[in-house]
Structure 1
Amino acid sequence: MIMSPSLRTLPRNVSADDVADCIDRDGGVIITNLIDDAVMDELIADLQPHFDRQAFGSGFTGNRTRRCNALLQHSDRTADLMLAPAFIGAAERLLVHDGVWSGANPDGTTTHKLRMRPTIQLSVTQAIELWPGQTAQEIHRDDSMYYARHPGPPTLVQALFAGTRYTAENGGTMVIPGSHRWDDERIPRLEEAIPIEMPRGSALVYVGGLYHAGGSNVTEDERRIAIAISYTLGYMRQEENQYLAVSPERARQLPLRVRELMGYRLCSPFCGWVDMRDPMEWLEAYSCSANDDQVHR
């Protein structure tokens, strides 16, 4: 059996720069104990009723796997995972790049250049409950939805937070270290993948070009829970439509930084406006309008 090198494991107080450097080299990294038990306990408790209403999936989504989406709608603790400094800091470093907007007067007498940087935004929030009997998932790249070419600049950074411990036996995610640098003609093989093992509250953070798959759960009675949260650039479409998945009323209850990351913020220079205004203004106006409607009923 061919075994790939392992991903590096880093402590929770690691700098975002160190996380980004490891991901740039290997495609992913493990950060141990990134989320406290109390936060994870509350998050799982909030999500459990929604898990329990879900049926098992089929095919790629898993016939012994249940999924809960729109996590910001269901739990305040989602923000704790989104804003974990080592995760969001690394995402910003890996994704954000400088751009230039050039312009000139109609008569060509004056030209100017504006240096700009895009925002990042939330792409997906999903909790994944993998039960005994689930077989290994098809190996894939998460950035395929963006028709990304490889190798190339990353368009997606994702974290899989361990809601339970991750082991080789309970379906710990399998990855092929270094595969983010492969071209699109190279076909991944299952024997090249290694299972990720990490304690509850830890996170596997990786770029969308890394080949990976959910593993096989061969235990008798142990479910494995992962919480997937990803970021993409502010000018790209979100995998999960946050504006429909999370109601405007709920969005207004969330911290400002979370609302910005949901997409209620212009991406420089002009991407994402509503009636030529910053979408945060629309959200505030929507709240006032909704309150007025309640008053006049």
Structure 2
Amino acid sequence: MPKNALTTLPSTASVEQVVEVIERDGGVIIAGFISADILADLQAEIDQALDTSSFGHENYFVGTQTRRASRLFARCKHMVDVVLHPLYLGAARKILQKPVDVWFGQDRTTITPQIQIGMTQAIQIHPGQGKQPLHRDDTSFLWRHPHYGREARLQIMVALTDFTEANGATKVIPGSHKWDDERCPMPEDTVNAEMAVGSALLFIGSTYHGGGTNSTDKPRTGLTMGIDLGSVRQEENQYLSVPFDTLKGLPSEVQRLLGWDAGENFMGWVEKGGKMMSPHTFLESDNVLHALGLVSADD
């Protein structure tokens, strides 16, 4: 393995093994992350979503030869399989849900933070697209390093085509999650996250990375999603992105991950009858807005 190359683990690896590599290197590749029986359907769902999108315009960050599509839980039923994958969700829980001790008066209390789906996006890099600027995904939260002493995001990039150096595989700087905010990321520090279709790159929000240059004659397609701390704002507004009818058909755990939950630290509650309640309570109603008292029975 070349010096500083990303480690690749099999899909049979344990959550503990995955977390150990991520905490050491900032990211890890999981070979065969998506099973063959799901992969074809997921590819078709993502292709359909991308068919509704256009190329970026005059923006060096999103790419003028790159197509992007979001709102993926409204468009792709197999997003459930990605977010509930034991290695992804399990690693997110271990990395992000680190308990915090706080005082309530003279009582010492331990609070475990929630996690939530922060964003979803299909990214298709077409021939001629140049490399993306290296960046940290937790910049969305204006996260500082290493001041906070904890991570805010575990990102995934699922390869829906082979990822190669030639077609724009994600470029990653292993170990950069340990850098402070004064050190500038340089192209010569990167390695290519080359992986076969169906594999996935898992990396934390503090790891520098960016899309590569596609010098081939075919597009490179990936599916990315972020699982974040529940105490930061969701990058993509999931409440408007996923229709109620679709939301109510999702597993309860996914509904909660999409933000329909309230945590021990009083984040996300809804007032009803003077009580601070979890919004998940109202998903069992036929009319969520009516149950919340936001519209009258006749609306």
The answer (yes or no) to whether the contact 2:65–2:128 under 8 Å persists in 1 is: yes
Aligned to 2:61, the other structure's residue is in SS state helix
Question: Is 1:130 paired with 2:129?
Answer: no
Comparing 165-174 and 3-12, the one that deviates more: 3-12
Give the superposition deviation at 1:290: 7.2
Q: 2:145 aligns with which of 146, 150, 160?
A: 150
Aligned to 1:60, the other structure's residue is in SS state coil
Give the superposition deviation at 1:4: 5.7
Change (3 A) 1:282 1:167: same
The answer (yes or no) to whether the contact 1:13–1:86 under 8 Å persists in 2 is: no
Q: 1:162 aligns with which of 159, 162, 168?
A: 159
TM-score (norm 2): 0.90
TM-score (norm 1): 0.91
- Higher share of residues assigned helix: 1
Q: Report Cα offsets for 1:217-245 as digits up to 9, x if no partner.
A: 0002x211110011111121111111111
The aligned counterpart of 1:250 is: 246
The answer (yes or no) to whether the contact 2:112–2:264 under 8 Å persists in 1 is: yes
Aligned to 2:54, the other structure's residue is in SS state coil
Give the superposition deviation at 1:286: 5.7
Give the superposition deviation at 1:40: 2.1
Q: Write the distance in 2 (CA, Å) between the matches of 1:135 and 1:214.
A: 8
| Matched letter for residue 28 of structure 1 | G
Aligned to 1:237, the other structure's residue is in SS state coil
| Matched letter for residue 287 of structure 2 | S
Give the superposition deviation at 1:95: 0.8
Give the superposition deviation at 1:49: 2.6
Question: Is 1:52 paired with 2:51?
Answer: yes
The aligned counterpart of 1:40 is: 39
Q: Write the distance in 2 (CA, Å) between the matches of 1:279 and 1:209.
A: 31
The aligned counterpart of 2:78 is: 77
The aligned counterpart of 2:279 is: 279
The aligned counterpart of 2:20 is: 21
Q: Write the distance in 2 (CA, Å) between the matches of 1:103 and 1:196.
A: 45
Q: Report Cα offsets for 1:192-232 as digits up to 9, x if no partner.
A: 11111111111100001111010000002x21111001111
The aligned counterpart of 1:234 is: 230
Q: 1:225 aligns with which of 217, 221, 225?
A: 221
Q: Write the distance in 2 (CA, Å) between the matches of 1:4 and 1:184.
A: 24
Give the superposition deviation at 1:90: 0.7
The answer (yes or no) to whether the contact 2:6–2:191 under 8 Å persists in 1 is: no
Aligned to 1:29, the other structure's residue is in SS state strand
Aligned pairs for 1:80-95 (under 5 A) are: 80-95=81-96
Aligned to 2:163, the other structure's residue is in SS state coil
Q: What stretches of structure 2 of length at least 5 have no aligned partner?
A: none
Aligned to 2:164, the other structure's residue is in SS state coil
Q: What stretches of structure 1 of length at least 5 have no aligned partner?
A: 105-110
Q: Write the distance in 2 (CA, Å) between the matches of 1:237 and 1:289.
A: 22
Q: Write the distance in 2 (CA, Å) between the matches of 1:157 and 1:243.
A: 21
Give the superposition deviation at 1:283: 2.6
Over the residues paired in the alignment, what is the CA RMSD in angstroms? Answer: 1.9
